[in-house]
Amino acid sequence: MTTYYAILGVSEQATPDDIRRAYRRLVLLTHPDRTPDPAAHQRFIAVNEAYEALNEPTRRYFYDSQLREMRNQVKPLQPGPLSDAARAPRQPPPSTWRRHSHVPTQLNFSAYACIAKRWGKWLSLLPVFILIDFFVLRHYAMTDFISISTSRDGTGNLYNCVVTSRGEFNTAVDIPLSTAGFRVQTSLLFKFIHEAYLPDGTALPIHTTFGSLFGFIGLSLLLIGVTQVKSLSDAARVNVTIIAATVGIILLLIAISGG
């Protein structure tokens, strides 16, 4: 089994600096701008995939957990002959169990409807807060160049996905691997990058990918508005609030990842 550690040529106890140095070295050897070899291009993609999994502490933790589970899998026991007790037909449980069991026929949602309506008002703060951070709380900052990979959009256009210490952005311009960092216009709280410049001041055209962010913002506001409708039944209000909370969690994760 080839692991991400083997792809980068480091041990499973490697430090983040070791992983970063190994990634930089392999990118210089396998980047499509450096060699026309198709095999090197495939290895470049594998190196980027391995680095993305091992660079983030959380992703690396889950990947290491998966490795341990795969290595500690126990071979299933072979079924042996059944004993006489196992062959005997199973007896139904005593009738007293059924007599004492109780299943409610209808849930009472009226006790939770007011709480659900109040939660709907609080949930409205999240999309509004994200919109303020996206459009208002912008500032310029210097950011470090971490990694780069290539991808295609829905129309087949090739883009460079640049990962920095303050978020990610897509651009069609080739980025020199010797670039130390960028000057970016980013949001204050979340990693929304609106503009990017090379150290010499050259502006990089950014291919925006905020469609899913605004889609979930619109869905969240719609569901929140439904929770405040007076004619809504108690059961529907509670269920819609649960759905709105779930959408809010997804929206928050998208905002944290930078859209």
Domain CATH code at residue 13: 1.10.287.110
Q: How many CA atoms lie within 13 A of 24 on its CB side?
A: 13
Q: Does one domain contain both 26 and 150?
A: no
Whether residue 53 lies inside any domain: the answer is: yes
Q: Does one domain contain both 154 and 197?
A: yes
Burial class (CB in 10 A: 0-12, 13-18, 19+), 8: buried
Beta strand 181-187 pairing with 193-197 = antiparallel
Q: What pLDDT does residue 94 have?
A: 55
Q: Which of 150, 149, 184 lies closest to 167 in space, CA to CA?
A: 184
Q: Does one domain contain both 45 and 164?
A: no
Q: Does one domain contain both 220 and 127?
A: yes
Distance CA 117, CA 228 (A): 6
Q: Model confidence over 233-246: pLDDT tens digits?
A: 988 999 999 999 99
Q: Model confidence over 77-125: pLDDT tens digits?
A: 555 565 555 565 666 555 544 544 444 455 677 778 889 989 989 999 9
Whether residue 23 lies inside any domain: the answer is: yes
Q: Does one domain contain both 123 and 241?
A: yes
Whether residue 81 lies inside any domain: the answer is: no
Residue type, 84: D
Residue that is last in its domain, among 70, 88, 123: 70
Whether residue 105 lies inside any domain: the answer is: no
Q: Does one domain contain both 8 and 66?
A: yes
CA distances to 22, 47, 132, 211 from 15, in Å: 11, 17, 38, 36
CB 179 within 8 A of CB 162: no
Beta strands in 125-256 (DSSP E): 138-152, 158-164, 167-171, 181-187, 193-197, 203-204
Distance CA 216, CA 224 (A): 12
Query: What domain count does the chain have?
Result: 3
Q: Does one domain contain both 123 and 177?
A: no
Residues 6 or more apart in contact with residue 30 via CB below 8 angstroms: 40, 41, 43, 44, 47
Q: Does one domain contain both 242 and 122?
A: yes
Q: Does one domain contain both 201 and 230?
A: no
Say which DSSP state 153 is in.
-
Whether residue 127 lies inside any domain: the answer is: yes
pLDDT band per the 50, 70, 90 thresholds, residue 133: very high
Q: Does one domain contain both 119 and 218?
A: yes
Whether residue 77 lies inside any domain: the answer is: no
Mean pLDDT of the chain: 85
Instruction: Give the domain range for residue 62.
Output: 4-70
Q: What pLDDT does residue 107 have?
A: 64
pTM, full prediction: 0.55
CB 187 within 8 A of CB 129: no
Q: Does one domain contain both 123 and 248?
A: yes
Q: What pLDDT does residue 87 have?
A: 61
